Structure 1
């Protein structure tokens, strides 16, 4: 094998159909060696099917799976240099933690396991729990045992199928950081399937957003969030305000758009469609990028900012921020997240307000898409397919 890609996972034209149903449409994907890669999407999007084809638990209908230079498409699961951690953990209840982790080594006929098992238990910070049974551990500890048991076999790739799904929110967040630390220390490729956007963005170097069996967009968490390519990604990763607009002029680095009776500015580099005069564009901006000013103070808003008017329809105090819903002629439920630093007592339901933001935070999408794509199904259980 060549050194440069000895641990890359490469999927070439891989697809999976069940009768007339296509779970995964043909896709090409490369997971770089040593990366933390997340397959993210709602229930039924094909992410688990893709993971199972890498693992050898599902046979592709077409296409190939390469691990480095080796085509493993027809190899059975137990002959592939991968290990999988499932949501259920599947620990042996009658064995203590030491023997659970040692199981794979003993199965391969390795007699002297003590040093390797102890090192792996230290890696997952469970050295003092070695002689406990699984039922004596918390959910997070059991999850770490499952990871240790998978890693001790030195797989080239560790596959994680909704590994945090059974944990409560606080423990999930702790384990997100823990898994990131473990991956950094061992340096092998992690491929992680999840429907939880925060989990994918917190842990992964690269996120693949899947939708209806296809790759919707691939990139770093920050790039996907700041520069969504479709309304599905804009809505599925967090919240986006989307406004229908028309190109007024499209010369230079900024596109001038007409929306309602006003003008909005959009950086050309952040527009996903050709900016031809009279063409339609969906203008997007994230709720936390927007400032909210009472209409009486509109004269204090700096020049050069994008602005629209509206009326506060509702607000929700969340501690860190207050989340406002604004009824605007351009967007009926425009959302604004304002940090609770200096709260304006006038910003209550019924108040007239001006929404304004730096044009640099604006993105432009194809207006042929539905503004509702990606808003449904952001949470849920994992698909069977």
Structure 2
């Protein structure tokens, strides 16, 4: 069993720029952990400090009782798998995997190399050169080369970024299978939300050098605690409102002149009646009803919407609905019946179960300044 990885008060500054800001983080032994965030959020710098490729300006890094803050990379029980794989082109696959063992002067490497290749299901390619392998196969060989050394922690630096979409999704499942079998601590850096949610036991969402929120994928998605997390991890509809009454179990809101409720334990806003709040609902949690449809009874309902765009996505249909106050809401409706749905220009009511909404501080901005390729924000 490996040791817990602990970062305490870690800060990394470059001249007048702080890449990582007073980071406290504990990753339990054997966990598949993901650092998720946009470019420039500090996730890769954090990984490089764990690997020993950067030294913290302030703070300490421990593996169990071992202080590795200033240890050389080769003296740490840590290995890294990079996006470009970094395989040796002149060596065959077997010798690529055996390289680290031979450097440590281990004489009998055959069983360990064979076991590592079997783990990634590529033992039959042992005598091929890297150039003869596909991108996904090279990625698995890089993983085998790192795992064969049995590090306490395996660092994954955007390892799937160079793969096409179909292969990337296949490798997400493969990586999780391998991690479960070997039981090592995996720390995975990515800007891909689906990748983090598919593989990780827990995810830390980073922004501006700090952790915005840490939790299981389900916790982060269902109950985001900031507008950054709500917008970065999937899509969210965020609507301005005001608290009208607040109790332990339920919070009542006025949203654009309409009364709605949310569960008390899903409300991150502070204060009582009169305080501003951002009501959040994920697009797939929303439903569309024809004006006055009695089926909406018992739900939170915002009337007066007009469908402005319809996009058929196969499994679901995406609707853009312009509301009376000028905001456009995104709604995903599962395609259960062929040919059903609303056309552009149709008048609709937008409804949802109260338990499927959350509340955020009303003094926070709903927008997030990050790379537009890494973020979907409801207009």
TM-score interval, normalised by the smaller of the two chains: over 0.9
Alpha-carbon deviation of 1:330?
4.7
Alignment map for 1:327-338 (pairs within 5 Å): 327-330=322-325, 332-338=327-333
Q: Which of the numbers 201, 204, 211 marks the counterpart of 1:205?
A: 201
1:215 paired residue number: 211
TM-score between both structures, scaled by the size of structure 2: 0.96
1:254 paired residue number: 250
TM-score between both structures, scaled by the size of structure 1: 0.94
1:274 paired residue number: 270
1:141 pairs with 2:124: no
Q: Is the 8 A contact 2:270 2:361 kept in 1?
A: no
1:342 paired residue number: 337
Q: Which of the numbers 363, 366, 370 marks the counterpart of 2:365?
A: 370
2:298 paired residue number: 304
Q: Is the 8 A contact 1:176 1:202 kept in 2?
A: yes
Q: Which of the numbers 174, 179, 197 marks the counterpart of 2:175?
A: 179
Alignment map for 1:82-161 (pairs within 5 Å): 82-161=78-157
Alpha-carbon deviation of 1:376?
4.7
1:23 paired residue number: 19
With over 3 angstroms needed to count, the CA separation of the structure-2 counterparts of 1:262 and 1:41, relative to structure 1, is same
Q: Is the 8 A contact 1:259 1:330 kept in 2?
A: no
Please give the alpha-carbon distance, in whole angstroms, between the structure 2 residues aligned to 1:202 and 1:374. 25
With over 3 angstroms needed to count, the CA separation of the structure-2 counterparts of 1:70 and 1:346, relative to structure 1, is closer
Q: Which of the numbers 73, 76, 79 marks the counterpart of 2:69?
A: 73
1:298-331, CA deviations, whole angstroms, 9 ceiling, x for partnerless residues? 2322422101121001111111110001001356
Please give the alpha-carbon distance, in whole angstroms, between the structure 2 residues aligned to 1:257 and 1:365. 12
Please give the alpha-carbon distance, in whole angstroms, between the structure 2 residues aligned to 1:307 and 1:336. 14
1:288 pairs with 2:284: yes
Q: Which of the numbers 5, 8, 21 marks the counterpart of 1:9?
A: 5
Alpha-carbon deviation of 1:240?
0.3
DSSP 3-state at the match of 1:301: helix
Alpha-carbon deviation of 1:275?
4.2
Please give the alpha-carbon distance, in whole angstroms, between the structure 1 residues aligned to 2:309 and 2:264. 34
With over 3 angstroms needed to count, the CA separation of the structure-2 counterparts of 1:252 and 1:57, relative to structure 1, is closer
Q: Which runs of 5+ in 2 are unaligned?
A: none
Please give the alpha-carbon distance, in whole angstroms, between the structure 1 residues aligned to 2:186 and 2:326. 40
1:231 pairs with 2:227: yes
- How many aligned positions are there? 374
1:383 paired residue number: none
With over 3 angstroms needed to count, the CA separation of the structure-2 counterparts of 1:282 and 1:41, relative to structure 1, is same
Q: Which of the numbers 34, 39, 42 marks the counterpart of 1:38?
A: 34
Q: Which runs of 5+ in 1 are unaligned?
A: 381-385
Please give the alpha-carbon distance, in whole angstroms, between the structure 1 residues aligned to 2:354 and 2:26. 34
Alpha-carbon deviation of 1:262?
1.1
Alpha-carbon deviation of 1:172?
0.3
Q: Which runs of 4+ in 1 moved over 6 A?
A: none
DSSP 3-state at the match of 2:374: coil
Identify which range, 87-96 or 253-262, moves more after superposition: 253-262
Aligned-pair RMSD on alpha carbons?
A: 1.4
